[in-house]
Chain A
Amino acid sequence: MPNPTEKIWDHERQRRNQKLARAASALGASQRDKVVPADMAVQLLEAVLEPGDRVCLEGNNQKQADFLAQALTRVDPARVNKLHMLQSVLALPEHLDLYELGIAEQLDFSFSGPQAARLARMVGKGQIRIGAIHTYLELFSRYFVDLTPHVALVVAQSADAQGNLYTGPNTEDTPAIIEATAFKNGIVIAQVNELVDKVPRVDIPGDWVNFVIPSPRPHFIEPLFTRDPAQISEIQVLMAMMAIKGIYAEYGVQRLNHGIGFDTAAIELLLPTYAASLGLKGKICSHWALNPHPAMIPAIEAGFVKSIHSFGSELGMENYIAARPDVFFTGADGTMRSNRAFSQAAGHYACDLFIGSTLQIDLAGNSSTATLDRISGFGGAPNMGADAAGRRHASPAWLRAGEQARSQRPGIPRGRKLVVQMVETFREHMQPAFVAELDAWKLAESAGMPLPPVMIYGDDVTHILTEEGIANLLLCANAEEREQAIRGVAGYTEMGLGRDLRIVENLRDRGVIQRAEDLGIDKRDATRDLLAARSIKDLVRASGGLYQPPVRFRNW
């Protein structure tokens, strides 16, 4: 029997220790405790990175480790190369420069909004090898399975000399990244806006962090969830009325997640007016997994909302959130604590409804935001907009949806999540939202993807809501009815014009399709006067001056 002490079980730890020793000698006296000056960032990265390392560069939906991203583009590619990058969001040009500079080689990611076109070009030229495109939860999960980072480059608001980090309201992905890295022999480097004697609260304990670099500039942060109520159209008001009366009230939806956009902002702004006039306060929309949308302020002030847990924060909302700790999750210091991983899990398992917009829907109800020449990824929508097949706890909305599904496909009793796609039949530039074939198919072919990038699969969608009405897909008996139900709300698009009038009228008689008038909604009532706020200024006033919108949203 071999002596167990002969086998080495700490290769990874030894490798980390060697890297740390190299770092110590490169930094010399410039390092104090865990603090490394900004002008030594490149030397530090060259000391701790080895060719082929998996590197998680924190790019979130909102905040960006932009200083570390720039530093990484300046390392010597002869020493540091073939890196395998892990990123939830590709947002900055530097994120792609790494591949042109020969520093990085492979990429696993979730979302690439602003860089989607360049990413597609670089993949086309063979400059980047994509491992896979994930949802946020999938990517975080893989950090703990087969994509554990060797080095994590993260971002926080402030730190002390011992490496304790304060993330402020935008905690976002940081805990998930550091948890995976620090406890599996990895190295964590944080850029911070300021060095302080004592952090306002400890978001990440110092012994999980190896180095702290005060950044010359505060990190970049994007206000992604601010929608100016002035831009909400009366069509969107009508659709929001149908959502509230035809779906929220119908199922008694108390726990939910809203996608980003003007369609859902209209719903948020109709809660204290239209929904309240229907007597729905306390009966719908009490608990949310949601970023702190400024459009939620009037509903919160009206007492509609009991709780909101957030993926990230939103610029300008900090003081408002801090003043409403009954609603938002806040720390002992008063500011919000967000957490993308937990909020995504909450949205998947604890919410009864997801509602969001999309660009294209096919006749099976599959929807996609993919367009040709852009690889934009998924983000979090697929986890929100999917039935949680692993869910076991019941709620009235979940049971009711499950019952409707079983009315057509009998089986053992189980619940069902409501997944609603809300689109105008024509989107901007008169592009039809309903199509025979999603552009995702062509994109998959041209980019060599194993599957067309579908955001929400048709068999997960329960309702499609357009200005023409609501199609309840749960009540469709078969694929043919489903197709006609979708055509029946597809308006004057080619798909809508191709409807079978007889079947569509039959579906309407059965309540599978409901028009505004079937719901008792007079279209003439759908005016912007119903919005609880009609401008950003109204939102500021509704918040009692606590909401401080970024300059670009102000006209004062």
Chain B
Amino acid sequence: MIHSYYESSARARIAGLLDADSFHEWLFAEDRVTSPHLAILEQPAAFDDGVIIGQGSIAEKQIFIAAQEGGFMGGAVGEVHGAKIVGVLERAVRDHPAAVLLLLETGGVRLQEANAGLIAVSEVMRAILSARAAGVPVIVAIGGQYGCFGGMGIAARCASTIIMSEEGRLGLSGPEVIETARGVEEYDSRDRALVWRTVGGKHRYLLGECDMIVPDGIAAFQHAITASIEKGDDWSLAALEQEHQLLADRVKRFGACKDGRDIWRELGWADPDALAMMDNDEFVAAAQGHRAK
């Protein structure tokens, strides 16, 4: 029986990924650290403010972890929620765990908390870079129902490694936001196939934005996370310059493309429509030499 990562709660993901009984939660229920803003707006609060943080081990390596719960306000980042993630990363700078693991599932900033949420997201980005600078790899996993969007989409790209499943989605503005801002002619957010071709895991893997793609299952994510910890982080100037070069090339190569399909064709996929139905192993094998990275 495969335990779906996509359909699991954040707590079930932690329980499934970490070594048995190794998880110790920071700011647990009895601490009642909840959002100060939601109560004013008469909105329900969650005792963990939609993110669970703590330490534990995975394949016997000590790690710190933050897991966003999509079921609470779509994983949106409020002041407390953001501060908890920042705290994990800053503690990593001090304590040097083997890695920080971020299980992201979020629509981005919590609009009810406006500026506080925006500041929180930028602090998360800075803290990710601080942890990496201190030699602690930051590993992001994206495979939940709400995807990873908004400012947290940028934060994800600041990490050492991104692991996604085919069902995972990664982007800046979410589909509905683009449609609202630019019109349905530009982007039809109800066209689920188009959305998947633009922000889905396979597309992100082919663009080189995610480093590993795995089938939807907690065990598959666990395996990829362990491998990423082993691999460590390349924080060299050369690696950074290479990344910048890739981004510059990308605009040149794909700037005129209207659809994920056009990009895949440009990458040498003879039959882009066949890509959707490939299972993960088949896809990863076929993608050799047909990625932008």
Interface residues of A (CB under 8 A from B): 273, 528-530, 534, 537, 540-541, 545, 551, 554-556
> Are B192 and A541 in contact (CB-based, < 8 A)?
no
> Are A541 and B4 in contact (CB-based, < 8 A)?
no
Shortest CB-to-CB span from A535 to chain B, Å, is 8
Q: Is the interface of B mostly helix, strand, loop or mixed?
A: loop
Q: Which of A528, A529, A540, A551 has the most CB of B within 10 A?
A: A529
> Are A273 and B1 in contact (CB-based, < 8 A)?
yes
Contacts of A529 in B (CB 8 A): 1-4, 7
Q: Which of B1, B3, B277 has the most CB of A within 10 A?
A: B1
Proximity string of chain B (1-44) to chain A, C-beta cutoff 8 Å, 1 when within and 0 when not: 11110110000000000000000000000000000000000000
- Pick the residue among A540, A545, A555 that contacts B192 (CB under 8 A): A555
> Are A541 and B279 in contact (CB-based, < 8 A)?
yes
Shortest CB-to-CB span from B191 to chain A, Å, is 10
> Are A528 and B7 in contact (CB-based, < 8 A)?
yes
22 A-B pairs with C-beta separation under 8 A: A273-B1, A528-B7, A529-B2, A529-B3, A529-B7, A530-B1, A534-B4, A534-B6, A534-B7, A537-B276, A537-B277, A540-B277, A541-B277, A541-B279, A554-B192, A554-B193, A555-B192, A555-B193, A555-B196, A556-B196, A556-B197, A556-B276
Known contacts A554-B193, A555-B192; A545 and B277 CB within 8 A of each other = yes
> Are A556 and B4 in contact (CB-based, < 8 A)?
no
Shortest CB-to-CB span from A335 to chain B, Å, is 23
Identify 17 new A-B residue pairs, CB closer than 8 A, beyond the known A529-B3, A555-B195: A273-B1, A528-B4, A528-B7, A529-B2, A534-B6, A534-B7, A537-B276, A541-B279, A551-B193, A554-B193, A555-B192, A555-B193, A555-B196, A556-B196, A556-B197, A556-B276, A556-B277
Chain B residues with a Cβ closer than 8 Å to the other chain, count: 14
Shortest CB-to-CB span from B219 to chain A, Å, is 12
- In the bound complex, how far is the Cα of B3 from the Cα of A208, in angstroms? 56
Shortest CB-to-CB span from A420 to chain B, Å, is 26
Shortest CB-to-CB span from B240 to chain A, Å, is 34
Shortest CB-to-CB span from B221 to chain A, Å, is 15
Shortest CB-to-CB span from A240 to chain B, Å, is 15
- In the bound complex, how far is the Cα of B279 from the Cα of A530, in angstroms? 20
- In the bound complex, how far is the Cα of B192 from the Cα of A421, in angstroms? 35
- In the bound complex, how far is the Cα of B280 from the Cα of A541, in angstroms? 12
Contacts of A556 in B (CB 8 A): 192-193, 196-197, 276-277
Closest to B193 in A: A556
Contacts of B276 in A (CB 8 A): 537, 556
Q: Which of A528, A540, A556 has the most CB of B within 10 A?
A: A556
- In the bound complex, how far is the Cα of B6 from the Cα of A534, in angstroms? 10
Contacts of A555 in B (CB 8 A): 192-193, 195-196
- In the bound complex, how far is the Cα of B6 from the Cα of A529, in angstroms? 11
- In the bound complex, how far is the Cα of B2 from the Cα of A273, in angstroms? 11
Contacts of A528 in B (CB 8 A): 4, 7
- In the bound complex, how far is the Cα of B277 from the Cα of A528, in angstroms? 22
Contacts of A534 in B (CB 8 A): 4, 6-7
Contacts of B6 in A (CB 8 A): 534
- In the bound complex, how far is the Cα of B166 from the Cα of A540, in angstroms? 15
Contacts of B3 in A (CB 8 A): 529
Shortest CB-to-CB span from B24 to chain A, Å, is 24
Contacts of B193 in A (CB 8 A): 551, 554-556
- In the bound complex, how far is the Cα of B7 from the Cα of A556, in angstroms? 19
- In the bound complex, how far is the Cα of B277 from the Cα of A8, in angstroms? 68
- In the bound complex, how far is the Cα of B283 from the Cα of A192, in angstroms? 42
